[in-house]
Amino acid sequence: MRKVIFALSLVTLTLTSCGTKKKIAALEAQNKECQDLLNSTTVKLNLCLSEKEALSKQNDYLKQNNSDLINNQKELTLLTSKGAQNLEKSLESLKEKDLKITRLQDALTRKDSVTLALVTSLKSSVGISDPDIEVNVDKGVVFISIADKLLFKSGSYVVSDRAKEVLAKVAKVINDKPTFECMVEGHTDNVPFTGNAILVDNWDLSVKRSTAIVRVLTKDLKVNPKQLIAAGRGEYIPLVENNTSENRSINRRTRIVILPKIDEFYEMIEKEMKNQKK
């Protein structure tokens, strides 16, 4: 009986031991699956954390970039606004310059026309229409240039009778303007003067011709000597090159420079402008 009980107990223990091993094996298998799942999940978690960090950095970059773009847009808008303002100012400035240029051109046109009228008036006062007598006006100064062939013989400083007729007309212009000053300039060509007991060179000749004309104007034509200046320029201010006889003839001249006061010069201009309107 005891043997039977012992045998049954042994069988029961053996069966119990086999069931525990199976449970343990099942638990170990389950534990391994859990561990594998945990490892896989950990890897995925780490990957997700890395992606999250990268996305976070990208998000920060995009935020900064967006902020920069917004600032750039504001600056661009500001610059565009300033550019438009500057462009508008530039256009206004150009319009003002164009207006000034137009006014200057109009003024120059009027000045040219008045100058022409003034020259015509002076030529009319001189009373001789001759290509050897030239009248010009420049910056308020009147220039009357007379070719020497009307005034002197070659190499001489004796005023001719025909010259006195011309100088009488010039004297009338000067006497009509008692406050004007007049400089009488003698000019020669570059042919050397041979000289004599009185004259040494072309400079001497130009001075003597100038003083000879001054004497005619003062003694014969009653011009106030205080208005006159005698000057000799010799050969040193030619109008053209002294390379032909014709050019040398052009350079031999006497120039009478009439120097009005500025206010009187403008009075002359106003008078001529009024004459133009009539």
Domains and their CATH numbers in the chain: 132-276 (3.30.1330.60)
Q: What's the pLDDT tens digit per position in 216-251?
A: 999 999 999 999 999 999 999 999 999 999 999 999
Global pTM reads 0.54
* Two tokens, residue 139: 């910056």
What's phi and psi for 182, nearest 5 deg?
-135, 125
- 58: pLDDT strictly greater than 70: yes
Lowest mean pLDDT among 60-69, 146-155, 188-197: 60-69
pLDDT category at 182 given cuts 50, 70, 90 is very high
Distance CA 253, CA 148 (A): 5
What is the reported pLDDT for 19?
63
Is 67 exposed, middle or buried (CB count within 10 Å of its CB: 0-12, 13-18, 19+)?
exposed
**Residue 260 is which amino acid?**
P
Lowest mean pLDDT among 48-57, 73-82, 240-249, 264-273: 264-273
Per-residue DSSP letter, 201: S
* Two tokens, residue 135: 């009248």
Q: What's the pLDDT tens digit per position in 89-148?
A: 777 777 777 766 776 566 556 555 655 565 666 666 655 566 778 887 776 678 889 888
Lowest mean pLDDT among 17-31, 160-174, 211-225: 17-31
Q: Which residues pair with 134 in a beta bridge?
A: 145
What is the reported pLDDT for 90?
75
Q: Which residues pair with 147 in a beta bridge?
A: 253
Q: Higher pLDDT residue, 48 or 105? A: 48
Distance CA 227, CA 179 (A): 7
Average pLDDT on 182-202 reads 87
Radius of gyration (C-alpha) of the chain in whole angstroms: 57
Query: What is the number of H-type helices and E-type strands within the chain?
Result: 5, 5
DSSP, collapsed to helix, strand or coil, labels residue 145 as: strand
Query: Cβ contacts of residue 130 below 8 Å, gap of 6+?
Result: 150
Q: For residue 86, what are the CA distances in angstroms to 60, 79, 81, 82, 93?
A: 38, 10, 9, 6, 10
Q: What's the pLDDT tens digit per position in 25-35?
A: 777 777 777 77
Q: Which helix (H) or strand (E) holds 65?
A: helix 2-126
* Two tokens, residue 205: 């000749």
Handedness of CA 89, 94, 99, 100 (dihedral sign): positive
Distance CA 186, CA 204 (A): 10
What is the reported pLDDT for 158?
92
Average pLDDT on 56-66 reads 78
